[in-house]
Structure 1
């Protein structure tokens, strides 16, 4: 996920939006006018921009991602397995 935030910062896509990433990258995001969210929140959502700081944020990131796609994650509190499939043309 680290490279995605760097690319968005360089392209100006994250300007004036909330974003989080591995803390050593914070200066790059702040310099690109991104609103930094501390990584202890694990994931940050600002409209259709969803970012996470590290792999530890994957569960929260995936919940935001699935909701953005119109999906729903439900079931017991036991381990859940999520499989995302798609094709690229």
Structure 2
């Protein structure tokens, strides 16, 4: 399955922090902004172009010194939280 960032939201750098902000009126339940930490900004960028979890896993291992197991766990948790917050959409 391909996951992609919801086009109603944008990642912005604010004083050195990456935050997700709504950029559309189609965001009724989202008040304020969400901060991305750790590899979150990197993953947001990967998924902004549309990506499978497997592709994101490859990119994380290519760019970070982390075990394959930890990378998979972190990516799955990130994708799950983004889907729960309606910040990711799925594509076939």
TM-score (norm 2): 0.25
Higher relative contact order (CA 8 A, sep 6+): 2
